[in-house]
Chain A
Amino acid sequence: MSAAFETRSETLPLTSMGEARDFFALLKPRVMFLVVVTALGGMATAPGAVHPVIGLAALIAIAVGAGASGCLNMWYDADIDALMARTAKRPIPSGRIQPSEALAFGLTLSIGSVIVLGLVANLLAAAMLAFTIFFYAVVYSMWLKRWTPQNIVIGGAAGAFPPMIGEAVVTGDFGIRSLVLFAIIFLWTPPHFWALALVKAGDYARAGIPMLPNVAGPAATRRQILAYSLVMAPVAVLPALMGFGGLAYLVVSVVTGLAMIGLAVRVLRTTEGDAAYKAAYALFGFSILYLFLLFAVLLAENSLGLMWALPKVLG
C-alpha cells in the first residue's frame, strides 16, 4: 500500500462508523445493476423456464455475488483508489469503512451468494458464479490490473459471465445463445473502459495503473476503440439472426451499434482539447445505455411476449 494511504489509515477510528449506505457502496451498485440486467437477459433467452421465485432468488444471489467481487476489488485497490480523484471518495480510502471490514464483508457475501445459488438453482450456476468472483477479484484486481494494458480486455470476461450464469440457472447448462451474449459484453468492455481511460488518463498515471492510453498512447487507444466497436456492433446483431432476438432487437441493435461506431469515429478524429474530452466521455456514457438497451429489448421480447419473430438465418 502507498505511504499516502497508510498515513490516512493511521487517523481512522478503531471502531468503524460506516453506515449501511457505505457498505452498499462497496458493492458497486451501478455495476450490480448491469449484472442483473445481463443475467436476466441470459435467463430470458435460455431455452426453458424457471419458477419466478427461484428465478428471482437466483438473480439476487448473482447480484450479491457480483457486488461481493466489487467489494473485494475495492478492498484490494484501496491504496490506488486513494490516489485517483474518481475513486478517492469510496468508503475505504475516505475512511468510512476499514479495510478489514470490507474484506470480511466481501468474503462473507462471496461464500454466501455461491452457496445460496447452489441451493436454489444448481451446482453449475454456483460454480460459474464462484469462478466469476475469483476472476474479477483475483485474476483481474490482483494480477492483471496493475500488470498489463490488456487488463480490462481479459478482465472483461468477468463482466461477461452473468448471461451464461443466467442460462445455467434455467437449463443447468449453457449453450450458444449465452455464448453470443458473453461475446457482446466481452467486446463491449474495451471501448467502454478505454473511453473512460482517455478521460481519466491523469488519474491512472498518478496511480501507476498501465491503462492503454498511458502505455500505448491516446492515438493507439483511439484506433483500438474503433476496432473493437467495429467487431462488437455486428456481433450484437447476432441474436436477431439466430432467432432469439426479434424485430425490435434487430432495429435497436443496428441503430445503436451504428451510433457506437459513429461515436468511436468521433473519438478517433477529435484528438485535441475539450472536444476530445467530450467525445470520449460521450462514448463512455452512450456505451452504458447501449448495453442496457440491448439486454432490455431482449428481455422484453423473450419474457413479456413482445417478440415479433424474424426468420432464423444462423444457428
Chain B
Amino acid sequence: MMSEDGKPALPPAAFSPEDMARRRRRNIALALVLGGLVVFFFLVTLVKTGPAILNRPL
C-alpha cells in the first residue's frame, strides 16, 4: 500500500490504549527506580565522605 506522496505507508499504530497504559506504568516505575538511585548514591556519598563534606570555604 502506498501513501499519497508515493512512499510506502507506515503500518497503523500497533498500541492499544491498554498497551499505552502498560507502558506508562512501566515508565513511572523506571522513574521511581532512577529517583531511588539518586537518593541511594547521595546518601552513600555523604556517609563515605563524612560530615566534612559540608565544611567548604564560602
Contacts and interface: CB of A to CB of B under 8 A. Distances in A.
Interface stretch (A2-10, A13-21, A229-237, A276-284): A13-21
A19 B27 CA distance: 9
Given A15-B14, A60-B40, A53 B26 contact: no
Contact of B48 (A13, A14, A19, A54): A54
Given A13-B14, A15-B14, A17-B19, A120 B44 contact: yes
B33 to A, nearest CB: 8
Given A13-B14, A53-B43, A57-B40, A20 B48 contact: no
B11 to A, nearest CB: 11
Contacts of A51: 47
A80 B46 CA distance: 46
A226 to B, nearest CB: 45
B22 interface: yes
A202 B29 CA distance: 38
A53 B29 contact: no
Contacts of A20: 25-26, 29-30
A83 B40 CA distance: 40
User: Size band of the B side of the interface?
Assistant: 10 to 19
Contact of A120 (B22, B29, B48): B48
A244 B23 CA distance: 49
B46 to A, nearest CB: 8
Contacts, number: 30
Contact of B44 (A13, A15, A53): A53
Contacts of B46: 53
A29 B58 CA distance: 48
B31 to A, nearest CB: 11
Nearest to A13: B14
Contacts of A13: 14
A19 B22 contact: yes
A57 B46 CA distance: 13
A19 B26 CA distance: 5
A57 B44 contact: yes
Contacts of B47: 51, 53-54
Nearest to A58: B44
Interface in A38-82: 51, 53-54, 57, 60
B9 to A, nearest CB: 18
A133 to B, nearest CB: 20
Interface in B12-28: 14, 19, 22-23, 25-26
Contacts of B14: 13-15
Given A15-B14, A20-B29, 9 more contacts: A13-B14, A19-B22, A20-B26, A20-B30, A57-B43, A57-B44, A60-B40, A120-B44, A120-B48
Which 10 pairs of residues, A with B, have the shortest CB-CB distance? A20-B29, A53-B47, A57-B44, A120-B44, A20-B26, A51-B47, A53-B43, A19-B26, A19-B22, A17-B22
Interface of B: 14, 19, 22-23, 25-26, 29-30, 40, 43-44, 46-48
Interface of A: 13-15, 17-20, 51, 53-54, 57, 60, 119-120
15 contacts: A14-B14, A15-B14, A17-B19, A19-B25, A19-B29, A20-B25, A20-B29, A53-B44, A53-B47, A54-B44, A54-B47, A57-B40, A57-B44, A119-B44, A120-B44
